[in-house]
Structure 1
């Protein structure tokens, strides 16, 4: 495999170019291939710190299968993956973009950030997207995600393009002045209103538990719930996240007796199986739907008070249409009423 360097990629380091191009490969793999001369620059062994020039030639001595594996795959709503031929598809996921920030409608299955494995994340996809527009890493700042969503939770992610916007967004998230609204399809119909509790996390199992009373190591949580539309045994609700803890909405709703439909960790197994069989649902029907920005004083002043919404994944509409059409779920009658 031969990679020719053009003017767009001139001036960057070889190792950074390879990490961006082979987005599924670990750093260790890339440096090992350089040491073993399976990756060479202009016919010679390279260390990775070389500065690229237009006209440079990189040769990769991999099989086609290995190259495709580490280059990545095309993004789909089901898998959340993005690959070579599908890079342009990132355009269809962008909700808003200006010179300072970008808002992405993350599909279920896509990581917000890398989790230590080789699987790529929204962070890498946006970095490559901006690099293609010559808006990549500048002045030492690498565009990065400011908030996180669980891998199988869809919806709005905020990316900062510079230090100033990163500071303003981070401060607003820390002070909870950015309003965050989620939509979820839950089993049964919870009583609307503000709900509080205390959350503890088991890091080994990556599960959390919600209790009504405080305990050692527990974090206070608070969420406001509103009913949007009842539909048979399920209900479409809106949740305003007033504190932002891991798995907060999923675990709190489950502890209340109204688990999110499709949730493999905190949900109802019988309902999940039925949703999977009838609609192909494979993960929690939870979507980070809307962000309402506060009054900014700095570089983001021009978008103060604006609201941004992310379209719902197709699974939401399929399930609501099916249930609204008097679809009954086996074994759920009376469980969530």
Structure 2
């Protein structure tokens, strides 16, 4: 099937310039942040906070769900919080190859998620490589997750109401946070949504996945870019075999959250994301793997009018409802 021309044109507008990432990662970072910036309308309620971890602050942005038919009718307000209502949370880790992206460039994605799922969306502005290589960004994500899971009074939510979610590098981080949570025993995520996640460490000619060869040169995100991103993210050579760096390398996939994996048909990361879901399923976890047709890597950042975005939002909502307690407050 030929890819939809509108989808390809839209993703081309969001794609990165053809540059040497290792030498020009700051240019790529600026380009992605500017292209991805989406202004927040006054009718939405958004506020910024920080989580303190070791010697620095981790910025987080909280997007409130629109609860009325009109966005101005009923929204969650940090200054007028209804303590009798408990809202579920999507803890979101953004993409960008661990090198680019921030909470500003993911405003649209988080607003769409908050509006469509009736969740508070907490977006984490973790530290970026190569200035802060692995595991710095991952530890930031873990620190925010630990605080939200353990200090339930912060956002008036229960641990069982919290879902981890991320796209691309953020999907990698969400999967790694779940593995770390099991191994460290600090908290227990019940659900995770991994959107075209990076899960493996080889995106070159020796990759075992057909999607690297099939989609690694003509669909905006190339296999060469993927390799560059991972090398910029890597702290030292030993990281290459670390399952928190590449979750598909884990030896133990048991005791993981109920998982939804969304992949894109024309994405070089497609097969490794689906392979990760298969590993989770074989280990006895509840897993749903859905390939979004006629989609490229990065499609979740497009406007909600695109069919692939609407479909994904509906799938995420359905997954949460299916894998939650009956009293989860999302209706």
Q: TM-score, normalised by structure 2?
A: 0.25
More strand by share: 1
Q: TM-score, normalised by structure 1?
A: 0.25
Q: Which has the higher contact order (CA 8 A, sep 6+)?
A: 2
More helix by share: 2
